[in-house]
């Protein structure tokens, strides 16, 4: 059984065939999915989707590209979504993204910290988005780890940094999200990082409809394609595909409290 820990099935890319796609996904051996919010609108739609499908849970949060939504009103809406639905199992995706916008860094940092505080208030894990922000993200996580004095409940979604940092994240209790990039020809850095960390720190994800693995790179992604990530991870770790599925499923259940 496969657990897709990070998907966006509320995305418009599925508007014409969402029910059909999810039916095919569940028939393929995917047992559970967490649908991830990226702003107020998608946080709401993630909860609606989770309440409609028994095997789907939700995360609510505001992506750094929508940082202007992280104000008292935005935090209040996220809080109400968490309180009103037991299907919400995490806060995310939240974090730092400097790929397009470096000017909002301080605002992004405050938004990241404020939403993580919200997760802690409800005892929920966080799903961290970090792009072109290795040091900034690590510094925030490290400071929080020192302050907490215990392992953190967080996952580095779509990990893209060096193996040395992956090992330090794992030591602080974080999981590493592994998806289609593992199969890319230019995915060497991720393969090195994943090869270095223990299996009990790895979560499978698609980020669908994005980041389809080879041989479907560039096309719309869905959870049926996660089998290619499983195969790549099994080869990298020298274990069976079933072991990969079993270990990562247990990891995901532990992380999301499912």
DSSP label at residue 220: P
Structure tokens belonging to residue 64: 């750094």
Residue 248's pLDDT band, with cuts at 50, 70 and 90, is: very high
E-only strand ranges, 103-204: 126-131, 154-156, 175-178, 202-204
pLDDT band at residue 45 under the 50/70/90 scheme: very high
Residue ranges in 10-104 assigned as alpha helix (H):
18-27, 40-52, 72-84
Residue 154's beta-bridge partner residues?
A: 126
Output the pLDDT for position 24. Answer: 98
Angle between helices 226-237 and 241-256 (to 10 degrees): 110
- Residues 145, 147, 149, 154, CA torsion sign: negative
* pLDDT tens digit sequence for 51-84: 999 999 999 999 999 999 999 999 999 999 999 9
pLDDT of residue 115: 98
Q: Is 179 left (phi over 0), alpha (psi -120 to 50) or beta?
A: beta
Per the CB < 8 A criterion, the answer to whether 227 and 2 are in contact is: yes
Q: How confident is the model at residue 117 (pLDDT cuts 50, 70, 90)?
A: very high
Spatial distance between the Cα atoms of 23 and 14, rounded to a whole number of angstroms: 12
Taking the alpha carbons at both ends of the chain, their separation in whole angstroms is 14
Residue 29: pLDDT band (50, 70, 90) is very high
pLDDT class of 26 with cuts at 50, 70, 90? very high
pLDDT of residue 206: 98
Task: Say what the pLDDT of residue 200 is.
Answer: 98
Report helix, strand or coil for 113.
helix
Domains in the chain, CATH or no CATH each: 2-256 (3.20.20.140)
Residue 225's pLDDT is what?
Answer: 98
Predicted model pTM:
0.97
């Amino acid at each position: 059984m496969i657990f897709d820990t990070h998907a966006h099935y509320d995305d418009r890319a599925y508007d014409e065939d969402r029910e059909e796609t999810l039916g095919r996904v569940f028939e393929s051996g995917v047992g559970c999915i967490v649908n991830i919010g990226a702003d107020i609108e998608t946080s709401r739609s993630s909860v609606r989707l989770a309440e409609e499908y028994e095997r789907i849970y939700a995360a609510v949060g505001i992506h750094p590209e929508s940082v202007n939504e992280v104000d008292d009103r935005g935090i209040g809406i996220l809080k109400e979504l968490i309180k009103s639905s037991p299907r919400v199992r995490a806060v995310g995706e939240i974090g730092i993204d400097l790929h397009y916008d470096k000017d909002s860094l301080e605002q992004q940092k405050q938004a990241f910290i404020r939403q993580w505080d919200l997760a802690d208030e409800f005892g929920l894990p966080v799903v961290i988005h970090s792009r072109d922000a290795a040091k900034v993200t690590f510094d925030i996580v490290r400071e929080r780890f020192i302050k907490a004095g215990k392992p953190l409940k967080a996952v580095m979604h779509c990990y893209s940094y060096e193996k040395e940092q992956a090992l330090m994240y794992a030591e602080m209790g974080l999981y590493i999200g592994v998806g289609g990039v593992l199969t890319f020809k230019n995915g060497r850095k991720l393969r090195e990082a994943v090869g270095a960390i223990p299996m009990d720190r790895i979560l499978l994800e698609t980020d669908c409809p994005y980041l389809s693995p080879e041989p479907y790179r560039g096309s719309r992604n869905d959870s049926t394609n996660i089998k290619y990530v499983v195969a790549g991870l099994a080869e990298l770790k020298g274990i069976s595909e079933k072991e990969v599925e079993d270990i990562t499923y247990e990891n995901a259940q532990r992380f999301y409290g499912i």
